[in-house]
Structure 1
Amino acid sequence: MAGGTYTLVLKRDASGPITVGALGEIEFPAGWYAYTGSALGSGGFSRIDRHRAVAAGDNDTRHWHIDYLLGDTTTTIERVVTTEADVECAVAQRIGGSTAGFDRVDSFGCSDCDCRSHLRYHERRDRLLDAVTAAHEAARDETAAATE
């Protein structure tokens, strides 16, 4: 299976704290989240299947920050956007950029890079989906231009 970069678009129905591994307790408001990760190993995008199993309650193992958020019963996966390239940090940084209303969850999902966060929040679904789509398209365009 092909691999690359993915963004999970998540809906959180209720506000409340979740303990996220070594990050400790984080308050997550109800709304929409975009988590960007990479699936570059031999399993490729099958990692998304693992995320779906955690969100469905079929997998209780918590390896990554996102497992704690997905393991909360008020969080569901709404959509997945993928790009077949190693552009995880570029996509994560582009989602929302410095636009008002897009909040970072500091240190979330970025323990292996220099990014501030790989999780963004917005209260509106349409704004978040537009930002995710635009970030993936920009990363694809940049990758294509670099290989020409």
Structure 2
Amino acid sequence: MKPKKEDKGSYLLILRLNKPKNIQIGRLGIIFFKKGFYIYVGSAMRGLSYRVKRHIGLKKVKHWHIDKLRQEALFCYAFTVHSSIRVECKLADALSKITQWKVNRFGSSDCECETHLFGMSEDPICSKEFQRLIKNFRLSYFEPVEEVKIGK
């Protein structure tokens, strides 16, 4: 099955660590992760749904920083923002304003962002600011998939 042409954009993965842990994250080295919820921002300009499904699973070749964290953390949720333009850095900037902490240099080796991984002690899904952020990005970057003709 080939991905649809429109299947591109950015995504947020919500993971949970039930206890504090030191984790080896590639070239970043050993990083201490607090107990809590982690929000990772990524993008896939082809095959967005496949990328998200890949991150949900545990059996995979470890390519990215998030793959190492995913091995240790529980998957909670995934949110997508379908868009033909990259908005992951804008998402990361918006998240930096509403989260409690960040993990420097995580997942941002291909851009100028400080990080693409943020943390909160409580489930972000319960945060009005987080809900607003998701809604605003989905509406701001909404792109109709196809023209719909009504009538003859």
Would you tell me which structure has more helix in proportion to its own residues? 1
Match of 1:118 in 2: 116
Distance across 2 between alignment mates of 1:26 and 1:50: 23
Aligned-pair identity (%)? 30
The amino acid across from 1:14 in the alignment is K
Secondary structure, aligned partner of 2:24? strand
Shift in CA distance, 66/10, structure 1 to aligned 2, threshold 3 Å:
same
Match of 1:107 in 2: 105
Moved over 2 A (4+): 126-144
Q: State how 1:66-105 maps to structure 2 within 5 Å.
A: 66-72=66-72, 75-85=73-83, 86-97=86-97, 99=98, 102-105=100-103
Equivalent residue pairs, number: 135
Distance across 1 between alignment mates of 2:123 and 2:65: 22
Q: Which has the larger radius of gyration?
A: 2
Secondary structure, aligned partner of 1:62? coil
Match of 1:139 in 2: 137
Match of 2:62 in 1: 62
Distance across 1 between alignment mates of 2:125 and 2:52: 23
Distance across 2 between alignment mates of 1:40 and 1:33: 23
Picking from 35, 38, 59, the partner of 1:33 is: 38
- Give TM-score scaled by structure 2 length: 0.80
Given that 1:105 and 1:119 are in contact with CA atoms closer than 8 Å, whether structure 2 keeps it comes out as yes
Given that 1:81 and 1:133 are in contact with CA atoms closer than 8 Å, whether structure 2 keeps it comes out as no
Distance across 2 between alignment mates of 1:141 and 1:39: 19
Distance across 2 between alignment mates of 1:66 and 1:89: 16
Offset at 1:64? 0.4
Given that 1:10 and 1:78 are in contact with CA atoms closer than 8 Å, whether structure 2 keeps it comes out as yes
- Give TM-score scaled by structure 1 length: 0.82
Secondary structure, aligned partner of 1:71? helix
Offset at 1:93? 1.1
Q: Where do 5+ consecutive residues of structure 1 fail to align?
A: none
Offset at 1:134? 2.6
Match of 1:4 in 2: 9
Shift in CA distance, 108/129, structure 1 to aligned 2, threshold 3 Å:
farther
Secondary structure, aligned partner of 2:93? helix
Superposition RMSD on alpha carbons, in Å? Answer: 1.9
Secondary structure, aligned partner of 2:69? helix
Picking from 35, 44, 50, the partner of 1:46 is: 50
Secondary structure, aligned partner of 2:55? helix
Offset at 1:71? 1.2
